[in-house]
Amino acid sequence: MEKISHDIIIVGAGIAGLRAAIAAADFSSKIGIAVVSKVYPVRSHSVCAQGGTAAVLRDGDSYDLHSWDTVKGSDFLADQNVVEFFVKQCPEEIIALEHWGCPWSRTEDGKINQRRFGGHSFPRACFAADMTGFHEMHILDAKARTYGNITFYDEWFVTSIQTVDNLAVGLTAFQMKTGKMCAMRSKAIVMATGGHERIYEFTTFSHTATGDGMTMAYRAGAPLKDMEFVQFHPTGLVPPGVLITEGARGEGGHLVNSKGERFMEKYAPEKMELAPRDIIARAEMTEISEDRGLKGQYGPYIALDLRHLGEDKINERLPLIRDVAIKLGGVDPVEEPIPIRPAAHYSMGGISANIHSETSIAGLFAAGECSCMSLHGANRLGTNSTAECLVFGAVSGREAAKYALANSFPELSKERALTEEKRIFDGILASNGDERVASLRNEMRQIMNGKAWIFRDGHHLQTALKEIRALRKKFENIAVEDKDKQYNTGLIGALQLDFTLDLAEITVASALARTESRGAHYRFDYPKRDDKEWLKHTLAYYSKDGPRLEYTPVTITRWPPTERTY
């Protein structure tokens, strides 16, 4: 088996991973950096980010205000030291992208333009029309490729993080084109593999964003934090679920029920359509469950009306949305409202990491959506995620570089890698059972949609947990039809299902345990926030019998919890 060594290996090449690579390369030209991704970097899910990236740039806005908006948005579950650090780093990330060539939308006098976004009390979303993540990604990818000490492993699938005595020593991965397994030794690893909302049926997520890195870290012994907090985006296009940016409402779009009412005045009279996402998603589900949704071929939906913005503004500010609505929803938003429904969109939880991106495993760092620094708490504000990927991508790259310079290469034993090769190619690839991977995957996604959605209760969560565990049993009896090693997407589907089944279980188990309602986690049976019992983070640790839950306090610096209204 081939052995590859790099000082730093970054897994995932979305905004966080690429930003980490650039930061590490800027930190030192002497360290060798590998970026390993199961897709070509510009295929990463980050290109789907649309509406903007938050940063305090103008008079009238302030770090305190951005912090407060974020903390309030988080329903007070954010760690406030992390929030305060984060908001101060955002502006320089915007400027860095500007310097590299990001085509930011502009004000009339040529400055970077900023639009309004939900839960933000100042227009601080820097945007490139409605393709912000796409443009950030292409500039980051191009920038990363200017460094001589960054090596890309495109279309390599990572299967495990290898540790010895809680020290990360490397990874196992195979090249998809050849199916050749490699042991990848490193001093430092940065996980930047994104979220796990593919566990749901109706989601804004790319097919490839399956949360692999979260599971790998979990299995290696790092806890996953706050996994019960899943964000449901209020405007997933019906039928496919793809994202219709919150920027559509930032530009003035209305949400309308079957009676033609802008129903948000009942739920958030002040912020209306620009209330945080958890509140709007619940409002929409309430309207639908009380029979005020519109009726369509693909079930009840809510109307997102942009018509009053006019064709020119829609073309200038929301060109992708118009195109997507026409091509995938069959409606032109200039002429008709867009049919939408809440869609699973973002994981507030992830690999538990501190303000330096360090996880509980020495040499293992995490950044972006796969991580949980507790920046977003129980509910993330729009535009804080691309900002997080940039800020903590950079932090993780620098910290990994420091770590790599201060440490020597650990040993990654050949036996470990051979064991993993056996597990994948003699085990999963060779499996010849009765269960179809696609059926199990679809079942999992239906269970999560049906029983661990926006409104939850103990009974349904309990059932979901049982059903997900039954699927895990069935997984032992799968068949992989394609037996070739080369570019085997059937095998990859099985591996991804393996990862997501763990994540579904952790999400449900964490949700079941949290007997309160906070941010995106809403329990019918516990409809109130309970600061006395639950002002704490969930930590899910791997055990053979399923996740073992522990709790850790929230860091509060300046803003004690208050009632959260908009």
Give catalytic residues, as residue numbers: 233, 249
User: Minimal distance in Å, beta carbon 527 to other proteins?
Assistant: 30
User: Minimal distance in Å, beta carbon 47 to other proteins?
Assistant: 5
Which of 289, 315, 489, 565 lies at the binding interface for other proteins (CB under 8 A)? 489
Nearer to other proteins by Cβ, of 147 and 541: the residue is 147
Binding mask 122-161 for other proteins (x = CB under 8 A): -------x-x--xx--xx-xxx-xx---------------
Q: Quick check: 548 binds other proteins (CB under 8 A)?
A: no
Binding mask 183-212 for other proteins (x = CB under 8 A): ------------------xx---xxxx---
Nearest of 149, 189, 187 to residue 173 by alpha carbon = 189
Are the CB atoms for 25 and 147 separated by under 8 Å? yes
Q: Quick check: 432 binds other proteins (CB under 8 A)?
A: no
User: Minimal distance in Å, beta carbon 349 to other proteins?
Assistant: 23
What type of residue sits at position 300?
P
Are the CB atoms for 140 and 19 separated by under 8 Å? yes
Q: Quick check: 477 binds other proteins (CB under 8 A)?
A: no
Binding mask 261-300 for other proteins (x = CB under 8 A): ------------------------------------xxx-
- How many angstroms separate the first and last alpha carbons of the chain? 58
Are the CB atoms for 22 and 99 separated by under 8 Å? no
Q: Quick check: 524 binds other proteins (CB under 8 A)?
A: no
- Give SS3 for 533: helix
Q: Quick check: 332 binds other proteins (CB under 8 A)?
A: no
Are the CB atoms for 250 and 317 separated by under 8 Å? no
Q: Quick check: 242 binds other proteins (CB under 8 A)?
A: yes
User: Minimal distance in Å, beta carbon 208 to other proteins?
Assistant: 4
Q: Quick check: 2 binds other proteins (CB under 8 A)?
A: no
Q: Quick check: 98 binds other proteins (CB under 8 A)?
A: yes
Nearest of 397, 374, 47 to residue 194 by alpha carbon = 47
- Give SS3 for 447: helix
Task: Considering only residues 20 through 49, tell me which ones interact with other proteins, judged by CB under 8 A.
Answer: 39-40, 42-45, 47-48
Nearer to other proteins by Cβ, of 38 and 523: the residue is 38
Distances (CA, A) of 565 to 69, 87, 265, 268, 271: 12, 22, 12, 7, 9
Q: Which residues pair with 231 in a beta bridge?
A: 346
Task: Considering only residues 44 through 83, tell me which ones interact with other proteins, judged by CB under 8 A.
Answer: 44-45, 47-48, 57
Q: Tell me how crowded residue 100 is: count the other CB atoms within 10 A of its CB.
A: 14
Distances (CA, A) of 266 to 275, 286, 305: 12, 11, 18
